[in-house]
Amino acid sequence: MRIRTRLILSFGFVLAVTLAVIAAALILFIAAQPPPQDDVYQKLATIMRDLTSEFQQARLRDLTQLPERLTAFAEENEVRVLMVGLERNAILVDTSGVFQTSDVLPLQAGSVTRLPTYLRRGLPIDTEPILGEFEDSSGDWLFTGLTIQGRNSGAAVLVAEQPVMRTLAEALLIFRDTLATPLAQAALVGLLVALVLSAFISRSLAGGLQSLSEAAHAVARGDYAWKVKPSGPPEVRDVADAFNRMSQQVHDTQRAQQDFVVNVSHDLKTPLTSIQGYSQAIMDGAAKDPVGAARIIYDESGRLNRMVIELTDLARLQSGQFSFQMKSIDLAALNRAVGERLALMAQRRGVRLHVETALTPPVMADGDRLAQVLTNLIGNAINHTPSGGQVWLRTAPAAGGVNISVQDTGAGIPPAELERIFERFYQVDASRGPKRGTGLGLAIAREIVTAHGGKISATSEGVGKGSTFTVWLPVGKPEAGGKKQA
Ligand code: ADP
């Protein structure tokens, strides 16, 4: 369903519910109101007319029968008839039996007036018709009356009724006759406003969404330059911003992946070419030193093997499939073990390796992976340090964790390269022979350290002045599950 249709439907629904509530409230209100007194008086005047005609018939002249006659008439017409002495308002007859003879009728002060002319039709001209209110234990009563002059004193005949509440059906009728039309007109106006509003809102919403959808299609086609111009309400603009950032990231990732594939194929091609070249020379008998050629083939294939292993490691680390066995690790013991393992290599190279341990809290880490990181750092340090140089492996407490540093007195790293050396395949001097590395070691080290919640960084005083690699690991916050999200 289109936004616009949805909006119109919701507005219409809200309008309908509101009107229904209003209508119900009005009907209940009307039902709760007593009917206007005029209506009651009019009805009573009519009944009184009937009563007068009965009076005028001879049979009612017999006063002894008067109470019964009046009672019968009252029952027939569902009213209360009273006869009251004019002098003291003393009750002579009350068909309801509430008042006793000679009780005084409790008239509402000032309520008795002459019956208005329009209600007098059909009443004898010589009478004095009145209307008024009185009260008894059951509440207010409205009455119309006629005075009759007797021989000694006058009396009044009153026809009375209690104003009753309206029934719901009556209220509904009144509502239909008076309020339904204006309410329907209001609904129509409301519906028109809803139409205009929904058109307006849907246009401002749909405009932003439309350009988003165009951009999404463009990006799907590979047109990453397409940017959404944020428009419409803030929520839609937020989505547009997020979309632009996302497409930029997708673009960057794609480029990085393409670079990666180019790098991998290039780095695989170099050793393969030399393997092919040297084996060809041996086969053709053109190699002057077949054993030397075989050694080169051996070294290059070893390098290829290392590359494949490291690439697999890196891919698994980056995709988060690598599971770490997190344990509490005593860094002093770990450093001594790594140091012992690399002592021989350092000795062969004429480099002195010092392992300096300090008292540090244990860290939560995967011991084998941490050893892999340190081995790589120390291996690099030994490889880049000329004979007679020195390498230090140190631990020290640091803010919120522990620092492990590997310092050497070797070649050093130019400042511009310090950040780049952690990139995949990046090598400061890639033009060395088959013994050279793969450029993946530091990238793997960084993945492992970040997966532990730590950081790795390099500093160097400059070329020829040695370098220091520092791994910071947090203490007391073990990585949940030891898994790294890519
Ligand atoms: P590689 O297999 O080439 O050693 P790494 O990722 O471990 O790959 O290192 C990337 C590059 O960083 C190296 O090629 C080297 O140029 C530079 N590098 C690493 N460690 C040192 C160091 N201790 N001294 C000087 N340069 C270093």
342, 374, 380: residue to mutate for ligand 1 pocket, most atoms within 8 A of CB = 380
438/68: higher pLDDT: 68
How confident is the model at residue 482, as a pLDDT? 43
Ligand 1 within 6 A of CB of 126: no
Cβ of 85 less than 6 Å from ligand 1: no
- pLDDT, tens digit, for every residue of 192-245? 998 999 888 888 888 888 888 999 999 999 888 888 888 888 888 899 999 999
Q: Are the C-beta atoms of residues 206 and 231 closer than 8 Å to each other?
A: no
Q: How many CB atoms lie within 10 A of CB 250?
A: 12
- Tens of pLDDT, residue by residue over 271-283, are 899 999 999 999 9
Ligand 1 contact, 454 CB (< 6 A)? no
Q: What is the best residue among 311, 409, 421, 446 to mutate for testing ligand 1's pocket, by most ligand atoms within 8 Å of CB?
A: 421
Closest CA to 385 of 361, 407, 418: 407
Ligand 1, atom nearest to 426 Cα: 10
Structure tokens belonging to residue 211: 């350009």
Q: Is 298 within 8 Å of 336 (Cβ atoms)?
A: no
Q: In the prediction, which pLDDT does 147 show?
A: 84
Spell out where 290-337 has E strands: 327-329
Q: Would the pLDDT of 434 be above 60?
A: no
pLDDT at 62 over 70: no
pLDDT confidence of residue 61: 57
Assign 1 to helix, strand or coil.
Answer: coil
423: DSSP letter: S
pLDDT band at 390 (very low <50, low <70, confident <90, very high): very high
92: CA distance to ligand 1 center in Å?
Answer: 127
Structural contact between residues 394 and 452, judged by C-beta atoms closer than 8 angstroms: no
Most confident of 115-124, 217-226, 289-298: 289-298
* Residue in the structure block whose two tokens are 């490889």: 383
Q: Does any ligand 1 atom lie closer than 6 A to the CB of residue 444?
A: no
Once rounded to an integer, what is the mean pLDDT over residues 431-443? 71
Res. 69: pLDDT tops 60: yes
pLDDT at 233: 83
* Residue 143 scores a pLDDT above 70: yes
- Number of neighbouring beta carbons within 10 Å of residue 21: 10
What is the residue with the minimal CA distance to atom 18 of ligand 1? Answer: 380
429 CB within 6 A, ligand 1: yes
Region 452-466: mean pLDDT is: 93
Contact 409 CB / ligand 1 (< 6 Å) = no
Task: Give tens-digit pLDDT for 395-405.
Answer: 999 988 999 99
First to last CA, the chain: 38
Q: List pLDDT tens digits, range 171-189.
A: 899 999 999 999 999 999 9
Ligand 1 in reach of 410 Cβ (< 6 A): yes
**Residue 421 Cβ < 6 Å to ligand 1:** yes
Residue nearest to atom 25 of ligand 1 (CA): 412
Judged against a pLDDT cut of 90, whether residue 63 lies above it is answered with: no
Distance 375 CA to ligand 1 centre (A): 13
> Could you tell me which residue, 223 or 57, shows the higher pLDDT?
223
pLDDT score recorded for residue 261: 86
Span 422-426, average pLDDT: 85
> Vertex 445, ends 440 and 450: CA angle to 5°?
130
The Cα–Cα gap between 322 and 329 comes to 19
Average pLDDT of the residues in 356-374:
93
Q: Is the pLDDT of residue 129 over 80?
A: yes
| The pLDDT of residue 369 is above 70 | yes
Task: Report d(CA 375, CA 51) in Å as an integer.
Answer: 123
The pLDDT confidence band at residue 480, using thresholds 50, 70 and 90, is: very low
Share of the chain above pLDDT 90, in %: 53
CB of 437 sitting under 6 A from ligand 1: yes
428 CA to centre of ligand 1 in angstroms: 7
Q: Find the mean pLDDT for residues 346-371.
A: 94
pLDDT band for position 59 (cuts 50, 70, 90): low
365 contacts 330 by C-beta, under 8 angstroms? no
Q: Which sign, positive or negative, has the C-alpha torsion 378, 265, 451, 422?
A: positive
Give the ligand 1 atom nearest the CA of 428.
16
